[in-house]
Chain A
Amino acid sequence: MTEDQNNILSEITSNDYKYGFVTDIETEYAPVGLNEDTVRYISLQKNEPEFMLEFRLKAFRHWLTLKEPTWAHIKYPKIDYQSICFYAAPKQNKQLNSIDEIDPELKKTFDKLGISLEEQMRLSGVAVDAVIDSVSIKTTFKDTLSKLGIIFCSISEAIREHPDLIKKYLGKVVPPRDNYFACLNSAVFSDGSFCYIPKGVRCPMELSTYFRINAENTGQFERTLLIADEGSYVSYLEGCTAPRRDTNQLHAAVVEIIAHKNAEVKYSTVQNWYPGDKNGKGGIYNFVTKRGMCEGDHSKISWTQVETGSAITWKYPGCILKGDHSIGEFYSVAVTNNYQQADTGSKMIHLGKNTKSTIISKGISAGHGQNSYRGLVKITKKAKGSRNYTQCDSLLMGDKCGAHTFPYIEVQNKSSIIEHEATTSKIAEDQLFYCNQRGISTETAINLIVNGYAKEVLNKLPMEFAVEAQKLLSVSLEGSVG
């Protein structure tokens, strides 16, 4: 066999492992709990250079001095950090032998979301014999990217292969000391994406985590770093519409984006982690720190998110508009149904002159869901001639849910303009009756209305994602009629 074939073979074999094939590689579990040894263990498993271990240890030691924040408008039982397993082998999910073994409820959801059979199997951990497909997708894709000089790999690989870039940028946008969960993440992150787009390059395809070699079975403490050099462009897709379960309850990811002069980054997220059952039991806690630095003049970073899952969503994707004329955007649809809670919004910090930011946040509350918008628009003294437009809308379905708004606006110069609009609406009985009278069922009517409401945000998503997201909204609001 040629060297190339050997490489491909070993890649595939390690991939097969992640889908749950039986191998004799020893299981990789850190003992439960979190102490310095756990951090060292993780770093060792990843074969990290010394500087990375230092980064982690520094963060961990600082974390020990911090207290968990309680100011958010959410309630949850105290997290016992000593009972969590902070590192587990990717092959966590049970190995299934055929598609018939997939939980029928889950299968119904997959079908409703229009997810292909092959994807369904992959996501459920069915042993997929898709060697040829994986190779062809991966190799064509990797070839195209490498020809353009684009680096797209796991963060672990980047730490090993591109330490200079990591040293230069990791923790610069979200320093470990930024907040409790970012600090924890800096100590124990286990996976995530790394992306570097060279000067003047426009990435020709949407980058998505699906294409990374490491599958998404972890996701507990993901760390993503995206660097767009001068004049470059990239659109990145995180997550998928398929409902995802994880035995790990706490997810505290960190995403850092740097956009240099004239560069543009679009970061889209569709999140549908397990939201807990109808009584609010179980469900994932999604405590995420996402921040983009518009480092260079005329740079632009857009965040678009559709959050329908998780028991608790706590995140404020934001932008630091450092370069003059830089632009930050945030488009969000967040759904809370049953007993889900969300405290989400955006932070736009204007440092440079003539900077612009847009925040469009659409909350949908149903069941006993509690949806809070929390936003910060800060225009510093030097950020002359800056503008912000914020629109936060809440849609209430039923009378047991809640929508709350906590806007913070700080303006420190006289030449900037801030606009803030907020609306609260319900789906009124007479609107539903109008639809009924035209032969449209209440469920379909609600879908029409909700999608019309969320349209402005869904339109910002890459097209295929937008279609999936629409279906996801329908599915996540099922049973909210009443």
Chain B
Amino acid sequence: MLKIRDLRVSINTKEILKGINLDVKAGEVHAIMGPNGSGKSTLASVLAGREIFEVTSGKVTYKGENLLNKTPEQRAKEGIFLGFQYPVEIPGVNMLTFMRTAVNEKRKFKGLEPLDAKTFLALIEEKKAFVEIDSRLTNRSVNEGFSGGEKKRNEIFQMALLEPDLAVLDETDSGLDIDALRVVANGVTKLKTKENATIVITHYQRLLDYIVPDFVHVLYNGKIVKSGGKELAFELEIKGYDWIKKELGE
């Protein structure tokens, strides 16, 4: 589904990604781990189409087409979802209005009729259960006044509504307590199908207890320096990122 070849990305002339190569197929869960500053969020942002990052070279193909020349909205409609690390607040814009607009935009793109209010509300009820989010939050403005954990749950709630083909979750576990972590992770796992794929970006192994990855990649200094199965995450947990640095001869 996703093919990244030699991707180099800079921001303000500073190079952050220094030649990323990655293959993600339908039905797979890939975990990307790495220390702070390694470029994990940059990779997520570039896949979503954030313009402040400049792609200096390389290719990214999504569903067989060049992804890099598509607008963020276009990418979203084609099934890419980014679970933000720091979800922004949009005061005044009601959560349900926002989601209904998003859901109907995607339906329009697929040639489907927009959902009427009744059907949409039924859908909301159904999906709320995925992340145990309650109406207190869905009746508010987007992320306004939400706690960190509530914001992360709201991201997965949106994911449940939009049913993406490729979900890129950027540190979905940061700021979550144990219970919230479990709820969020279970939500993500429940949404997994043979047709979709997930890239989970995280610092810590514990999320991967719940969202079991097929592949684990270590991103260090803008490059994927090591890849393996889920055992790699355990190894990292025990040995720390210093181990990687040593392996690279630093």
The answer, yes or no, to whether B202 is at the interface (CB within 8 Å) is: no
Partner of B93, one of A439, A441, A449: A449
Kindly provide the distance from the CB of B238 to the nearest chain A CB, expressed in whole angstroms.
Answer: 35
Instruction: Evaluate contact between A436 and B73: CB separation under 8 angstroms.
Output: yes
* B98 with A448: CB separation less than 8 A: yes
Q: Are B90 and A441 neighbours in the complex by a CB distance under 8 Å?
A: no
* B82 contacts A by Cβ under 8 Å: yes
**Contact among A438, A441, A444, A451 with B162 in the assembled complex (CB-CB below 8 Å):** A438
Instruction: Check B215 for interface membership: any CB of A closer than 8 A.
Output: no
The 8 A CB mask of A394-431 against B (1 = contact, 0 = none) is 00000000000000000000000000000000001111
Residues in A with CB closer than 8 Å to B89 are: 431
B50 A433 Cβ-Cβ under 8 A: yes
Tally of B interface residues using CB under 8 Å: 33
A434 & B49 in contact (Cβ 8 Å cutoff): no
Determine whether B55 belongs to the interface, using a CB cutoff of 8 Å to chain A.
Answer: no
B29 contacts the other chain (CB 8 A)? no
Q: Which one, B2-10, B101-109, B113-121, B222-230, is touching chain A? A: B101-109
> B101, A440: Cβ atoms under 8 Å?
yes
Question: Which residue, of A431, A433, A441, has the highest number of chain B Cβ atoms within 10 A?
Answer: A433
Complex interface: chain A residues within 8 A of B98 (CB): 435, 438, 440, 448
Q: Is B88 an interface residue (CB 8 A)?
A: yes
Could you tell me if B92 and A435 are in contact, using CB atoms closer than 8 angstroms? no
Q: Does A437 contact B (CB under 8 A)?
A: yes
- Give the residue of A431, A439, A455 whose beta carbon is less than 8 angstroms from that of B73: A439
**Residue B91 lies at the interface, judged by CB distance under 8 Å to chain A:** yes
Q: Bound complex: CA of A428 vs CA of B88, how far in Å?
A: 10
Given contacts A438-B162, A439-B102, A448-B101, contact A433 B92 (CB under 8 A): no
Whether B90 lies near A434 (C-beta < 8 A) is yes
Q: Are A440 and B105 in contact (CB under 8 A)?
A: yes
Which of A430, A438, A439, A453 gathers the greatest number of chain B CB atoms within 10 Å? A439
**A356-400 vs B: 1/0 string, CB under 8 Å?**
000000000000000000000000000000000000000000000
Residues in A whose Cβ lies below 8 Å from that of B88: 428, 430-431, 434
User: Given A431-B88, A434-B87, A452-B90, do A439 and B106 touch, yes or no (CB 8 Å)?
Assistant: yes
Q: Is the CB of A444 within 8 A of B82?
A: no
CA distance A18 to B94 in the complex (A): 45
Residues of A within 8 A of B162 (CB): 438-439
**Which chain B residues border A451 with CB–CB below 8 Å?**
92-93
- Chain A residues positioned under 8 Å from B97 (CB to CB): 448
**In the complex, chain B residues whose CB is within 8 Å of the CB of A442:** 73
Q: Give Cα A448 to B94, complex, Å.
A: 9
Report whether over half of chain A's contact residues are helix, strand or loop; otherwise say mixed. helix
Which residues of chain A are within 8 angstroms of B99 by Cβ–Cβ distance?
438
Residues of chain A within 8 A (CB-CB) of B91 are: 452-453
**With known contacts A433-B72, A448-B98, A452-B141, A439–B90 Cβ distance under 8 A:** no
CB within 8 Å of B: which A430-473 residues: 430-431, 433-442, 444, 448-449, 451-453, 455
- Rounded to whole angstroms, the CA-CA distance of A429 and B45 in the bound complex is 13
A449 to B50, CA, bound (A): 20
Across the interface, do B76 and A437 meet the contact criterion of CB distance under 8 Å?
yes
Q: Which residues of A contact B81 (CB under 8 A)?
A: 437
Give the distance in Å from the alpha carbon of A210 to the alpha carbon of B87 in the complex: 47
> B56 contacts the other chain (Cβ, under 8 Å)?
no
Say if the beta carbon of B217 comes within 8 Å of chain A.
no
Is B77 located at the chain interface by the 8 A CB criterion? Answer: yes
* CB within 8 Å of A: which B100-145 residues: 101-102, 105-106, 109, 141-142
Nearest CB in chain A: distance from B168 CB, A: 10
Given A430-B88, A448-B98, the answer on whether A439 and B71 have CB atoms closer than 8 Å is no
Cβ-based interface call for B207 (8 A)? no
Asked if A436 and B93 sit within 8 Å, CB to CB, the answer is no
Residue of A with least CB distance to B143: A434
The distance in angstroms between the C-alpha atoms of A430 and B102, with both chains bound, is 17
Q: Mark B153-178, 1 if CB is under 8 A from A, else 0.
A: 00000100010000000000000000
- Residues from chain B with Cβ under 8 Å of A440 in the complex: 73, 98, 101-102, 105
Which chain B residue shows the least CB distance to A428?
B88
Minimum C-beta distance from A448 to chain B (A): 5
Chain A residue at minimum C-beta to C-beta distance from B144: A452
Chain B residues with CB under 8 Å of A439's CB are: 73, 76-77, 102, 105-106, 109, 162
Residue B84 at the A interface, CB < 8 A? yes
Which residues from B are CB-within-8-Å of A441? 73, 105
Q: Does B48 contact A (CB under 8 A)?
A: yes
Q: Which chain A positions have C-beta within 8 A of B105? A: 438-441, 444
Tell me the bound Cα distance from A449 to B94 in angstroms. Answer: 9
Asked whether, in the complex, the Cβ of A436 is within 8 Å of the Cβ of B72, the reply is yes
Q: In the assembled complex, how far is the CB of residue B51 from the closest CB belonging to chain A, in whole angstroms?
A: 8
Which of A436, A437, A449 lies in contact with B92, CB distance below 8 A? A449
Give B contacts to A, CB under 8 Å. 48-50, 52, 71-73, 75-77, 81-82, 84, 87-94, 97-99, 101-102, 105-106, 109, 141-142, 158, 162
A-B pairs with beta carbons under 8 Å apart, 16 shown: A429-B52, A430-B88, A434-B87, A434-B142, A436-B72, A437-B49, A437-B72, A437-B75, A438-B162, A439-B73, A439-B102, A440-B101, A442-B73, A444-B101, A448-B97, A452-B90
Across the A-B interface, give the 7 residue pairs with the lowest CB-CB distance, nearest first: A452-B92, A436-B72, A439-B76, A438-B102, A452-B93, A439-B105, A439-B77
Beyond A436-B73, A439-B102, 8 additional contacts (C-beta under 8 Å) are: A429-B52, A433-B48, A434-B88, A437-B48, A438-B76, A438-B98, A444-B105, A448-B97
